[in-house]
Chain A
């Protein structure tokens, strides 16, 4: 018998056995999924909460309007040589730091020489201060936001949702015949961290040690 047949046969036998020996209440079907119903959220409150919670992880948050993005990005990179900064090909030109290398073209060894990466994101989650990357053209493949030690991520206020379940609703991949391939997703909440040694927090083990979030909101003070 193949491993597949054996496992499935065991599962089916177990389900039958449980059914036979269960009492009535143990057989009650679990309730069906129902999305949480909540009052509408105020976009300003979402942006404020998002900024506060990202900062709680000891990430840097810079709030600005569209016109201030370039300046905020270059301030976050001020101490680096331009040639050690990379950006994905699809990053909006206005956000691209001068002289940044094309991140998608870098192999593993070249990536090691990159000090910072500038990207957009797919979604922000206010409740948990999380940015979600779907590694589209304005974010680049996963390795790009992993190997360099600093990640500067530009988030538009209108991308922010309230909580994790709202994020999942927004991120639902297509299913069924002819569905597009579901992209990989990376949920990032602050810089990488460990507390494995005596529970003392150390920021930055393998992922970027510095996370800078540039939050773009119409009417926000530039810079």
Chain B
């Protein structure tokens, strides 16, 4: 059973202080992000209309988010017409209850699961456990995390903090029949295959997330690499899919747009090995019963904020993590939430309420690399700055000293990472392009609302400017590699490894969190 995330995170500086001590974590993470960055660059540069594709990706997400109520009602109609059942959960507790009841109704006391950030967020596994239902994770990395009683460190490669010897030891200890397994990744994967195959064929209920659903057709999509997703979506009698309400798309073709953007941004592949699309139930093919659980759990907090709502475009590709110097240095677990890195810094406070995660908006240097790579053009620095303003204005001031702590830590991390990273093209390019904090994400400029009264403070442009100046000076002066500059990991140097290799588990079907924290737009809440 995966360890739970803390009830109320999130003191970033304190948590980061712990993770910073772990040099194994840091070197694994550095290796991973460098390799994935290089692969992403390669496959993105193949697409000649990438920038207009990003625009279309943002527009496709916005078209649905702006009329989210209509989209959800339409999705419900289409799924129902295709033989599925739709359920609605306003918050974490009702989502847990709904899913537990659906599983109980099947009579099974075990379920198999496809990696899903949302179900992690909803703490579904512990809730199922409490109800006497065993939930088996089937994604290799999730299995490693689950068997190790651990927490995820990266959206895409959740077990990146573990090396092969640690994984071998976990398997030998926890996996039946793997007592003698070697530390060869192929042998470890084979042990997982054998262990899980029996469960795929036997367990009658599966739980999945979803990467997207199309309102007009009722089609749901799951993107993956290993085939465990296909197994869970195909073999059991009952399928329960848990999806955040923001994942809905209006048109069938919008899914085509997202599928051009996601694999290249996520794993740095032209396409991930497997994508499954299904519409309701199909006679003699796959589950006989299909339940779609639509979950709010704080998404409407973000939707009510005209600046913050762009966060909901996110397709969980994790590109922003891989370019973030702060993330690279502190690791995902420092964010103390299922969503780490730049996206976590803007999503977690909005889902959970600004009171519960007040330091996260400061866990960034505003260098802008995250915005440059985001396939749906979420202007993360702009939203960070906006949320800093809201934290200052709307929450009570206790803990403010920590903001400075988080920010200092972020800036220091950047300095360290820049020092040691030879291939810092992404952030470098972002700096040269001159990221605009006032950019609305589709190229237009406009004022930031709700910032008067504090935009004059040192929060807004200064840290970013001085950082850039600092970097330029470095570029001008000491650009030459020192003799002791660390070598790039193998994967980033070897062109074959860059183009050929598939990356991990691919975008996990998605997202979500507890709702109902502070009512920032309380008067309008039904």
Is there a chain A Cβ closer than 8 Å to B62's Cβ? Answer: yes
Is there a chain B Cβ closer than 8 Å to A106's Cβ? Answer: no
Q: Is the CB of B270 within 8 A of A169?
A: no
Is there a chain B Cβ closer than 8 Å to A207's Cβ? Answer: yes
Which chain B residues (17-53) contact chain A, with CB distance < 8 Å? 28, 31-32, 35-36, 49
Which chain B residues (281-319) contact chain A, with CB distance < 8 Å? 282, 284-286, 294, 296, 300-301, 303-307, 309
Is there a chain B Cβ closer than 8 Å to A78's Cβ? Answer: no
B-contacting 9-mer, from A40-48, A94-102, A124-132, A152-160? A124-132
Q: Is the CB of B446 within 8 A of A23?
A: yes
Q: Is the CB of B300 within 8 A of A11?
A: yes
* Binary interface encoding of chain A residues 127-156 relative to chain B, with 1 for a CB under 8 A from any of its CBs, else 0: 111100001000001110010000000000
B-contacting 9-mer, from A67-75, A79-87, A176-184, A214-222? A176-184
| A188→B274 CA distance, assembly (Å) | 5
Cβ 8 A contact of B88, one of A3, A15, A125, A189? A3
Hey, which chain B residues are within 8 Å of A193, CB to CB? 225-226, 273, 502
Given A26-B446, A202-B186, answer yes or no on A172-B252 (Cβ-Cβ < 8 Å): yes
Is there a chain A Cβ closer than 8 Å to B134's Cβ? Answer: no
| A16→B36 CA distance, assembly (Å) | 40
Q: Is the CB of B309 within 8 A of A18?
A: yes
Cβ 8 A contact of A182, one of B36, B98, B185, B279? B279
Q: Is the CB of B275 within 8 A of A14?
A: no
| A188→B197 CA distance, assembly (Å) | 20
Hey, which chain A residues are within 8 Å of B227, CB to CB? 146, 192, 205-208
Is there a chain A Cβ closer than 8 Å to B276's Cβ? Answer: yes
Cβ 8 A contact of B440, one of A14, A26, A146? A26
| A188→B279 CA distance, assembly (Å) | 18
CB distance from A86 to the nearest CB of B (A): 15
Q: Is the CB of A6 within 8 A of B234?
A: no
Which chain A residues (20-50) contact chain B, with CB distance < 8 Å? 21-33, 35-36
Look across to chain A and name the residue whose beta carbon is closest to the beta carbon of B308.
Answer: A18
Is there a chain B Cβ closer than 8 Å to A164's Cβ? Answer: yes
Q: Is the CB of A168 within 8 A of B255?
A: yes
Q: Is the CB of B526 within 8 A of A9?
A: yes
Hey, which chain A residues are within 8 Å of B384, CB to CB? none
CB distance from A18 to the nearest CB of B (A): 5
Hey, which chain A residues are within 8 Å of B267, CB to CB? 195
Q: Is the CB of A23 within 8 A of B282?
A: no
Q: Is the CB of B260 within 8 A of A184?
A: no
Hey, which chain A residues are within 8 Å of B163, CB to CB? 198
Q: Is the CB of B189 within 8 A of A194?
A: yes
| A19→B521 CA distance, assembly (Å) | 12
Cβ 8 A contact of B500, one of A14, A17, A58, A186? A58
Hey, which chain B residues are within 8 Å of A207, CB to CB? 226-227, 230-231, 273-274
B: number of interface residues (CB 8 Å): 119
Q: Is the CB of B279 within 8 A of A173?
A: yes
Which chain B residues (133-179) contact chain A, with CB distance < 8 Å? 138-141, 144, 157, 159-160, 163-164, 167
Hey, which chain A residues are within 8 Å of B256, CB to CB? 164-165, 167-169
Cβ 8 A contact of A108, one of B94, B228, B235, B499? B235
Is there a chain A Cβ closer than 8 Å to B393's Cβ? Answer: no
Given A165-B253, A186-B275, A189-B273, answer yes or no on A195-B285 (Cβ-Cβ < 8 Å): no
A-contacting 9-mer, from B63-71, B332-340, B454-462? B63-71
Cβ 8 A contact of A10, one of B141, B160, B231, B525? B525
Cβ 8 A contact of B226, one of A27, A32, A206? A206
* Binary interface encoding of chain B residues 54-81 relative to chain A, with 1 for a CB under 8 A from any of its CBs, else 0: 0110111011001111001100100000
Q: Is the CB of A18 within 8 A of B217?
A: no
Look across to chain B and name the residue whose beta carbon is closest to the beta carbon of A35.
Answer: B253
Look across to chain B and name the residue whose beta carbon is closest to the beta carbon of A13.
Answer: B524
Given A7-B296, A17-B521, A206-B200, answer yes or no on A22-B500 (Cβ-Cβ < 8 Å): no
Is there a chain A Cβ closer than 8 Å to B87's Cβ? Answer: yes
Q: Is the CB of A185 within 8 A of B277?
A: yes
Given A3-B98, A197-B188, answer yes or no on A173-B217 (Cβ-Cβ < 8 Å): yes
Cβ 8 A contact of B444, one of A25, A35, A142, A146? A25
Cβ 8 A contact of A13, one of B159, B284, B294, B304? B304
* Binary interface encoding of chain B residues 175-214 relative to chain A, with 1 for a CB under 8 A from any of its CBs, else 0: 0000000000110110011001100110000000000000
CB distance from B138 to the nearest CB of A (A): 8
Is there a chain B Cβ closer than 8 Å to A53's Cβ? Answer: yes
Hey, which chain A residues are within 8 Å of B252, CB to CB? 168, 172-173
Hey, which chain A residues are within 8 Å of B217, CB to CB? 173, 175, 182
Is there a chain A Cβ closer than 8 Å to B109's Cβ? Answer: no
Is there a chain A Cβ closer than 8 Å to B449's Cβ? Answer: yes
Hey, which chain B residues are within 8 Å of A6, CB to CB? 88, 90, 526
Q: Is the CB of B82 within 8 A of A182?
A: yes
Given A127-B270, A168-B252, A196-B159, answer yes or no on A187-B275 (Cβ-Cβ < 8 Å): yes
CB distance from B453 to the nearest CB of A (A): 16
Hey, which chain B residues are within 8 Å of A36, CB to CB? 49
| A109→B499 CA distance, assembly (Å) | 38
Q: Is the CB of B279 within 8 A of A2?
A: no
Is there a chain A Cβ closer than 8 Å to B436's Cβ? Answer: no
Hey, which chain A residues are within 8 Å of B501, CB to CB? 195, 199, 201
Is there a chain A Cβ closer than 8 Å to B447's Cβ? Answer: yes
Cβ 8 A contact of A189, one of B228, B245, B270? B270
Q: Is the CB of B282 within 8 A of A183?
A: yes
Q: Is the CB of B526 within 8 A of A10?
A: yes
* Binary interface encoding of chain B residues 495-509 relative to chain A, with 1 for a CB under 8 A from any of its CBs, else 0: 000011111110000
23 contacts between A and B (CB under 8 A): A3-B87, A3-B88, A15-B66, A15-B67, A18-B303, A26-B446, A27-B306, A30-B66, A33-B251, A57-B500, A104-B284, A182-B217, A184-B286, A186-B275, A188-B274, A194-B141, A194-B505, A198-B31, A201-B501, A205-B140, A205-B228, A206-B197, A206-B228
